[in-house]
Structure 1
Amino acid sequence: MMFFKNKSMLRNHHKGERVFILGNGPSIKEEDLSFLKNEVSIGINASTLLEKDWGFTQDYYCVSDARFINHPEKRSLATNLLSKKTKRFIRADLRDSDDPSLRGSTFYVPHLLRDGFSKNLAVGYYYGSTTTMLAIQIAYHLGFQDVYLLGVDLRYSGENPRFYKESSVQLEDSFTSVQLMNIAKAGEIFREESRGLYICSKNSFLRPYLPYVNLGDKI
């Protein structure tokens, strides 16, 4: 099993490159993701379901939500349905519940406080009440120049707040302001370093806080 004890571990491994983070909002179903066969991607939670439909393999995958390790319906999305080529980043305190056979391809990252931004995953990450924050901090740690958020809608309403069906729908409206604040702060940090954090979801609540990019203009 791997921990971020070595500060140089994967640090700036993708310096200057671009990456696409795959959120779980409904808008991601509207995108043609076949282009990801030739791009670097970071998946989140149920993004594993998108691989078969579009014929790509996630380069990285992260989970900070215990449900995707402990829930009987969702566990497979983070374990046996995930490609063995994919490097996993899992919240450290979920290690004992994780599939032992995957520990060789998994980085267990300690979580710090709720609000903030970590520039070094050797120290840990700020969870910001959304796994998207872990993905963004992974992208920063790996050195990506431009980071594009797909399916990060943050609109938790109706029966289908996510692109996939849930037997028990969990709405997270009470955390939306926390999520917005932390992702907006992450955007400021990227801008200060002349790097880009962009939102590609047209109706995302992040539109006022991050620059919007039409995905079709980037592929």
Structure 2
Amino acid sequence: MIKKYKNKINIALYRLTRQIKINLFPLSQNAATLIKLKNKHSNMRCFIIGNGPSLKTEDLDKLQNEITFAFNRIYYLFDQTDWRPTYYCSEDEKTIFKSTEEINELKIGQKFFPVNFPWDYKINFQNASYYIFKLGDSKVEPKFSEDIVNGIFWGNTVAYTAMQMAVYMGIKEIYLLGVDHHFSKMENDKGEIVIDETAKDYFTEKYNTDKDDLYIPNVEISTRAFTAAKRYADDHNIKIYNATRGGKLEVFERVDFDNINF
């Protein structure tokens, strides 16, 4: 009984402490960094780079002078191209736990992570900024943040985080590349595991040699997030295009990457 009572007190204290931290976040140095990003790239375009099997290094070579967002283990192709992303994001706990050293050593302009990594896991990355991650009901479309200082909404894909960041930065034209939106092992909303033995997961087999230890993606949740992004974009005169070579994402208008003017 005493142990159970102590656990309740600890949980209550944890929640109170977290709420205080959230309330004070707008006054923090992390918030100051995010504030400086407001309309930094007003009326410009950007490319959001997924890690799907369709991703080609020769395509990335064309993006040297573009604003780009990339994620997670994108560094596995850095030995094949001089391109480096403008912004790097990662929010998958299991990926970060297994790749902390590699991520910390990345030489990239700015890195972004949910603030729970320093708060809960005492993980602080070099040259990094942090944001509040807002979770919601995974069965419905998430909200779309208009002010990332007050939080970014979870969409079960870091690409959704990047979209919210890009819009906050004033971007008016977003191109997705390498967002195949399909995996060899997926979970649906019913909790069922769907296997597609013909599918490749990433641009290199080295990417997920530890995939049995990582989260199983639910693309139905991600689809709802992409739908929310499109709804917001359509209402605010923002264009989101899918320039991925193939893949299964059909929420956004498709464009041929080879026909984009660089």
Query: Which sections of structure 2, spanning at least 5 residues, go unmatched?
Result: 1-27, 137-141, 185-196
The CA deviation string for residues 103-133 of structure 1, in whole angstroms up to 9 with x for no partner, is: xx32211111242211111111111111111
Residue 57 of structure 2 contacts residue 80 of structure 2 at CA under 8 Å; is this kept in 1? no
Alignment match, 1:93: 116
Query: Which sections of structure 1, spanning at least 5 residues, go unmatched?
Result: none
| Structure 2 Cα separation of the partners of residues 99 and 7 of structure 1 | 19
Alignment match, 2:6: none
Alignment match, 1:111: 133
Q: 1:148 to 1:41 in 2, by over 3 A?
A: same
Percentage identity across aligned positions? Answer: 24
Tell me if 1:17 matches 2:61.
no
Alignment match, 1:139: 166
Tell me if 1:61 matches 2:75.
no
Higher normalized helix content (fraction of residues): 2
Q: 1:30 to 1:106 in 2, by over 3 A?
A: closer
Give, in angstroms, the shift of residue 26 of structure 1: 0.8
Of the structure 1 ranges 115-124 and 47-56, higher mean CA displacement relative to structure 2 is found in: 47-56
| Structure 2 Cα separation of the partners of residues 151 and 76 of structure 1 | 25
Give, in angstroms, the shift of residue 100 of structure 1: 3.9
Of the structure 1 ranges 109-118 and 14-23, higher mean CA displacement relative to structure 2 is found in: 109-118
| 1:110 aligned partner, one-letter code | I
Q: 1:206 to 1:59 in 2, by over 3 A?
A: same
Q: Report the TM-score, using the length of structure 2 for normalisation.
A: 0.73
Give, in angstroms, the shift of residue 30 of structure 1: 7.0
Of the structure 1 ranges 195-204 and 146-155, higher mean CA displacement relative to structure 2 is found in: 195-204
Alignment match, 2:249: 206
Give, in angstroms, the shift of residue 213 of structure 1: 1.2
Give, in angstroms, the shift of residue 31 of structure 1: 5.2
Residue 57 of structure 2 contacts residue 81 of structure 2 at CA under 8 Å; is this kept in 1? no
Number of aligned positions between the proteins: 211
Q: CA RMSD in A?
A: 2.2
Q: 1:188 to 1:108 in 2, by over 3 A?
A: same
Alignment match, 1:180: 223
Alignment match, 1:194: 237
Tell me if 1:167 matches 2:209.
yes
Structure with greater contact order relative to length (CA < 8 Å, sep ≥ 6): 1
Q: Please say which structure displays the higher CA radius of gyration.
A: 2
Q: Report the TM-score, using the length of structure 1 for normalisation.
A: 0.86
